[in-house]
A and B are shown apart, each in its own frame.
Chain A
Amino acid sequence: MRLTRLAAARFRNLEPFDRKIGTSFVVLHGPNAQGKTNVLEAVYLLATLKPLRARRPRDLVRWGDEAAWVQALVTSKGAERKLRVVLEGSRRRAEVDGKTASLDAYFEWARAIAFVPSDTGIVTGEPARRRNWVDRAAFTAHPAHLEAVKRYKRALDQKAAALRANVADAVLDAIDDGLAESGARLVERRTALVEEISPHVRAIHTMLAAERGALALHYRTQAVGDSVAARSNALRGRLADARKGERQRRMVLVGPHLDDVEVALEDRSARAWGSQGQVRSVVLALKLAEMVAASRRGGDMPLFLVDDIGSELDRDRKRRLVEVLRELEAQVFLTTTDPEHLVDLPKGDTEFVRIEGGKLY
C-alpha cells in the first residue's frame, strides 16, 4: 500500500493541507510540539481507523471544532482508491471512493504498522502489552482474528457477570464449555501467528542488532494441545479445577486473557535485559516481522510509521533499518527533530517535509 496524496482538515493542530507524495520515504521534521507526530497520527488513522496515541477518536479533532477529516489517494494491488475518514463528535465514518464502507471493505485498502517510543513496553511491560501486540499482528495478517478476539472477550464478560451473580453450577458449566471453546480458538490463532512470525523476527533481529544471538518467541498458555479440541479440553479441565477459587474471588482465573509471549535471546528473557538499545532492536524486529507476515497473506505491504526516530536508534541501526525497509519495498513515514542524522535514506526516493506551527512546508 502506498499513499500518493494526503489531505486533512481540522485535525489536531494541523493547518488544512493537501499534499502529493511521490517517494517511498517521507521524513517529517522540525522542532518539538509543532505537529510532526500529528501528521503521523493522520496517516495511522487513515490506515487503521485507530488513533496512534490518543485514547478516543474525538481527541483527534482540533480543540473547539466538531468534526475533522483525513483523506488520501492510495494505490494497492495495482488499483487506486480514495480513502476518507470523517470524525464527527464521538463517531467515525470510513469511506472508500466517496461511499461509506464496511470495515472489511475498508481494510482491503488500508493497513499500517507503527513504531513509537512507548512500544519498548511490548518487551519490558506487562503481559497485556504482548497479548495486545499478538492480537494486533494477527489481525493485520488475518482480519478474521478480530472475530476470535471479540468472541472470547464476550464469553469472558458473560463469565464474569455469571460469577458476580453467583449463578448455579449448571449455568457456569455451560458458560465454561463455551469459554474453553472460544479461548482455545483464540490461543490456536495466536500460537499460529507467533510461529509464523518467529523466523522473520529472528532473521530481522540478526540484521538489526549489534549483538549476536538468536531471538526466540514462545507463546505461553495453559491451553496446551496440538489442536483446538485438545486445547479446549485442557482449558476446560483447568476451569473446573479453578471453580472454587473463581467463585470466591468472582474473577476468571484461567484462560488466554492471562497468557504471555516470551521474548528471549539465547535463553535469557528479554525483559531482564539492561540496554535500551537492545530492547529497541527487539521491538523493531517484532514490528518489521509483522510487516512481512501481513504482506505474505494479503499480498500488499502495510505502511510503516516510525515516531521520533532520532531518539530511538543509533546511526548503525538506522542504516540497517533503512536497508530492511527498502528490501520490503514499504512506504515509510518517519518523524525526527534532526533530519541531518538520516543520511542513509535513498536520495532520489526520500521527501523531507518540515513541520512548524502545524504547517507543512
Chain B
Amino acid sequence: MAEAPPQDPIRRAARQLARFPGIGEKTATRLVYWLLRAPQGTAAEMAEALVALKDGVRECSVCCDLTAVRPNETRCAVCANGSRDTRTIVVVEHPQDVGAFEKSGEFRGLYHVLHGAISPLDGVGPDTLRIRPLLERLRDGHVQELVLATDPDVEGDATALYLARLLAGIPVKVTRLAHGLPVGAEIEYADAASLARALENRRPV
C-alpha cells in the first residue's frame, strides 16, 4: 500500500469540523484559526469532552431520552424524579424537544422520545423508532393520557397518525398537540408561550 501523503494540519482539522451539520468549509476554517490563537490546552479540553461524550451518555431505560451515565441509575432525571405526574406522557421526536418542554415549565408529566419520525424517503419506519418501549410503558394501565407532540410536518403527522391507529385498542387517552405552533416549525425551536398554548389546546386524534 502506498503511504498516505502528509496532510496540512489546518486543512485536516477544518475538514473534520466541517462534518458538523450546518458548518461549511468556510466556518470550519474560521474555527480552526480561532483554535490556533486560543490559549494552550483549549483544543485538548475540547477533544477530551468530545471523546467522553459517547461513553458518558446513554438512553434512559424508561423514556429513551438521552441522559448522563450514572452509577446505579438507568433512568434520566425526569423519570427518576418522584414528584412528576406519571399518568401523562408527552411523546416527542427528539431529545431536544424534551428540553423545550422542560424550559417552558408548563408540563409536570413524563416524556417518551421516539428518536425520529416515520419517513420512507429516509428509510425510517416504525421499527427504527422507540415505539416498542413506549408500548411497554402502557402495559400496566397506569398511564392515562398520551400527548403526541411530534413535529407538525408531514413526517410528524404520519408518526402521530400511526401511533393513534396503533393505540386505538388500548385504554389510554391519546391527544395530539394542537397547531398552536407555526406551520413548518420544529418543536425544538418553538417559544415557551406557543408551546404552552399548544399544550393547552391539545385535542383527541
Q: List A residues at the B interface (Cβ < 8 Å).
A: 147, 151, 154-155, 157-159, 161-162, 164-165, 167-168, 170-171, 173-175, 177-178, 181-182
Contact = CB atoms under 8 A, between A and B. Distances in A.
9 contacts: A164-B120, A165-B125, A168-B125, A171-B126, A171-B162, A174-B161, A175-B158, A178-B158, A181-B157
A174 B176 CA distance: 14
Interface string B184-198: 100000000000000
A227 B184 CA distance: 23
B119 interface: yes
Interface string B154-172: 1101110110011000000
Contacts of B159: 174
B6 interface: no
Nearest to B127: A168
A174 B118 contact: yes
Given A178-B154, A178-B157, A158 B120 contact: yes
A161 B121 contact: yes
Contacts of B126: 168, 170-171
B123 interface: yes
Interface string B118-153: 111101011000000000000000000000000001
Contacts of A174: 118, 158-159, 161-162, 165
A147 B183 CA distance: 8
Main secondary structure of the interface of A (DSSP, over half): helix
Contacts of A159: 120
B120 A165 contact: yes
Interface string B27-45: 0000000000000000000
Contacts of A175: 118, 120, 158, 161
B169 to A, nearest CB: 13
A172 B184 CA distance: 23
Nearest to A150: B184
Contacts of B120: 158-159, 161-162, 164-165, 167, 171, 175
Given A167-B120, A171-B126, A174-B162, A158 B155 contact: yes
A168 B128 CA distance: 13
A185 to B, nearest CB: 11
A148 to B, nearest CB: 10
Given A155-B154, A167-B125, A147 B184 contact: yes
B125 A171 contact: yes
A257 B89 CA distance: 38
Contacts of A173: 161-162, 165
Given A158-B120, A174-B161, A178-B161, 15 more contacts: A158-B119, A158-B154, A161-B121, A164-B120, A170-B126, A170-B162, A171-B118, A173-B161, A174-B118, A174-B158, A174-B162, A174-B165, A175-B118, A178-B158, A182-B154
Contacts of A165: 120, 123, 125
Contacts of B183: 147
A272 B69 CA distance: 73
Most chain A CB atoms below 10 A, which of B120, B121, B126, B165: B120
B184 to A, nearest CB: 7
A14 to B, nearest CB: 32
Contacts of B155: 158
A19 B159 CA distance: 55
A182 B157 CA distance: 10
Contacts of A178: 154, 157-158, 161
A74 to B, nearest CB: 28
Nearest to A147: B183
Contacts of B125: 165, 167-168, 171
